[in-house]
C-alpha cells in the first residue's frame, strides 16, 4: 500500500489527491458532483490511464446518486448526459471509455429495476472497479518482477505508479514488487517535459515510499543508456492497439528507439483494460493536443518567443520496439496480434 490515496469513494463524495499541487503540497479535493469529477479529470487533478478510468466510473456513480429524477426514462437520459460529459474530458487513455462502457452495460442489464437499485448498483460497480485495479496492479507487479534481476536499474517515463492507478501502479508496481521481495532495485525517472509527471509525481511517490530514485532530464536518457547505466526500461500505457503499438506519454517512442539501439529490454506494463481491441494499429489512436502554454511557460514565466508550438501529449511506440507487454493476465510478446488476443481467454 502506498502512503497516500490517489482516489477514494468516501461518504458519497469522490476524494482525490490534487496532483497539480505535487510535490510542494499534499492536498486532497472533494468532488460533490459529477461535473466536478469531469473537471478534475480534464484539469489533471487526477491523471494516468487506470486512475482516469476509476474517476470516470466514480463520476457516473456520483451523478446517478445525486440525480433528483423520479421518472425512469428521465433518469436514464440524465445518465447518458453524465456519461457523455465525462467521455469528453480526455481522449487518449482508453480506460476512460472502458469504464464508461462498463457502467453503461450495468445500467442496460438493470433497466427493469427501480431507480434506487440502479443508483446503488452503479456505486457498487465504481467501488468494484477501484478494488479490481488494486488487485490488477498487484498482479502486474508480481508477474513483471520476475523479469527484473536483483541489482537492476530501471528507467521509467512519466508516472505509471500509485498516482496513476488506485494504488501500487503498473510500471512502478513491478518496481515495488521487486523491491519488496528484497531485490536491490534502483529507478531512474525522466522528468517528462512538458508537464513533468516524472519529476513532480514519480520522484515524489518513490521517494515518499522509500524507493531509491534518480531524476534525469529527458535528454539525459541517451547518455545513461549509452554508459550502461540502465538495465531495463518499463513504462505504462494509455492505449494499446491490437497489433501491440503503444500510446504513452510523449517521449516514450524516443526511449524505445534508444533502448533498442542499446539492446536494453523495453517493457510496457498495463492492465488488459488498456488494450483497445477495436484499434488495429497505433495510428488509429487519438492523440491529445494540450495547451501550448505547457511548453512556452515554466511556473507561469514565459520562456519562449511567440512562435508556432506543438504539444502532443502522447506518442506511439511501434510494436517492434516493445520487448513484452506485461498485464495482470500474463506477459504478451510478439507477434502481438495473437498474444494480446489470448489474454482475453
Ligand atoms: O497525461 P497523463 O499524465 O494522464 O499521462 C499518463 C501516462 O502517459 C502514463 O504513463 C500512462 O497513463 C500509464 S499510467 C499507469
Could you tell me if the CB of 249 is within 6 A of ligand 1?
yes
Residue 92 Cα to ligand 1 midpoint, Å, equals 10
Task: Please say if 306 is a catalytic residue.
Answer: no
Could you tell me if the CB of 50 is within 6 A of ligand 1?
yes
Q: Which of 7, 17, 20, 93 to mutate to test the pocket of ligand 1 (most atoms within 8 A of CB)?
A: 93
Please pick, among 133, 218, 238, 276, the residue that the annotation labels catalytic. 238
DSSP state of 62: H
Residue 75 Cα to ligand 1 midpoint, Å, equals 33
Distance of alpha carbon 162 from alpha carbon 167, whole angstroms: 4
pLDDT at 128: 98
Residue 41 Cα to ligand 1 midpoint, Å, equals 12
Whether the CB-CB separation of 92 and 247 falls below 8 Å is answered with yes
The third-level CATH classification (topology) of the domain covering 146-342 is Rossmann fold (3.40.50)
Q: Identify the residue whose C-alpha is closest to ligand 1 atom 5.
A: 48
> Could you tell me the sign of the dihedral formed by the alpha carbons of 7, 52, 127, 173, in that order?
negative
Domains 7-137 and 146-342 share a fold: no
- 211: which residues sit within 8 A by CB, 6+ positions away? 175, 176, 179, 185, 187
Q: Identify the residue whose C-alpha is closest to ligand 1 atom 15.
A: 160
Could you tell me if the CB of 238 is within 6 A of ligand 1?
yes
Distance of alpha carbon 307 from alpha carbon 136, whole angstroms: 44
Q: Which of 158, 201, 202, 288 to mutate to test the pocket of ligand 1 (most atoms within 8 A of CB)?
A: 158
pLDDT at 273: 97
Q: Does domain 7-137 have CATH number 1.20.120.420?
A: yes
Question: For the chain, what are the domain ranges?
Answer: 7-137, 146-342
Ordered per-residue pLDDT tens for the chain, 345 residues: 788 999 999 999 999 999 999 999 999 999 999 999 999 999 999 999 999 999 999 999 999 999 999 999 999 999 999 999 999 999 999 999 999 999 999 999 999 999 999 999 999 999 999 999 999 999 999 999 999 999 999 999 999 999 999 999 999 999 999 999 999 999 999 999 999 999 999 999 999 999 999 999 999 999 999 999 999 999 999 999 999 999 999 999 999 999 999 999 999 999 999 999 999 999 999 999 999 999 999 989 999 999 999 999 999 999 999 999 999 999 999 999 999 999 997
User: Helix, strand, coil proportions of the chain in percent (round to 5)?
Assistant: 45, 15, 40
pTM over 0.95: yes
Could you tell me if the CB of 17 is within 6 A of ligand 1?
no
Amino acid at each position: 500500500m502506498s502512503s497516500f490515496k490517489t482516489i477514494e469513494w468516501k461518504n458519497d463524495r469522490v476524494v482525490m489527491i490534487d496532483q497539480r499541487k505535487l510535490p510542494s503540497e499534499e492536498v486532497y479535493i472533494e468532488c460533490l458532483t459529477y461535473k466536478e469529477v469531469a473537471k478534475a479529470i480534464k484539469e489533471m487533478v487526477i491523471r494516468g490511464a487506470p486512475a482516469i478510468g476509476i474517476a470516470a466510473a466514480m463520476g457516473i456513480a456520483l451523478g446517478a446518486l445525486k440525480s433528483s429524477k423520479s421518472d425512469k426514462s428521465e433518469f436514464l437520459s440524465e445518465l447518458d448526459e453524465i456519461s457523455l460529459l465525462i467521455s469528453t474530458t480526455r481522449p487518449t487513455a482508453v480506460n476512460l471509455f472502458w469504464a464508461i462502457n462498463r457502467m453503461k452495460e450495468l445500467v442496460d442489464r438493470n433497466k427493469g429495476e427501480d431507480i434506487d437499485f440502479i443508483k446503488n448498483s452503479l456505486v457498487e460497480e465504481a467501488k468494484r472497479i477501484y478494488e479490481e485495479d488494486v488487485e490488477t496492479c498487484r498482479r502486474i507487479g508480481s508477474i513483471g518482477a520476475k523479469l527484473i534481476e536483483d541489482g537492476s536499474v530501471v528507467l521509467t517515463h512519466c508516472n505509471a505508479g500509485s498516482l496513476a492507478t488506485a494504488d501500487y501502479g503498473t510500471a512502478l508496481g513491478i518496481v515495488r514488487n521487486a523491491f519488496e521481495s528484497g531485490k536491490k532495485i534502483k529507478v531512474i525517472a525522466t522528468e517528462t517535459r512538458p508537464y513533468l509527471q516524472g519529476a513532480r509525481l514519480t520522484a515524489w511517490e518513490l521517494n515518499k515510499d522509500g524507493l531509491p530514485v534518480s531524476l534525469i532530464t529527458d535528454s539525459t536518457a541517451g547518455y545513461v543508456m549509452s554508459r550502461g547505466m540502465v538495465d531495463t526500461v518499463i513504462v505504462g500505457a494509455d492505449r494499446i492497439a491490437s497489433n501491440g503499438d503503444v500510446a504513452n506519454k510523449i517521449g516514450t517512442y524516443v526511449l524505445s528507439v534508444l533502448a533498442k539501439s542499446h539492446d536494453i529490454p523495453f517493457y510496457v506494463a498495463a492492465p488488459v483494460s488498456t488494450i483497445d481491441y477495436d484499434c488495429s494499429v497505433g495510428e488509429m489512436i487519438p492523440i491529445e493536443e494540450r495547451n501550448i502554454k505547457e511548453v512556452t511557460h515554466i511556473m507561469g514565466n514565459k520562456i519562449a518567443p511567440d512562435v508556432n508550438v506543438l504539444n502532443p501529449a502522447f506518442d506511439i511506440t511501434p510494436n517492434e520496439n516493445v520487448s513484452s507487454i506485461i498485464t495482470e493476465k500474463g506477459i504478451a510478446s510478439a507477434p502481438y496480434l495473437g498474444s494480446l488476443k489470448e489474454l482475453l481467454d
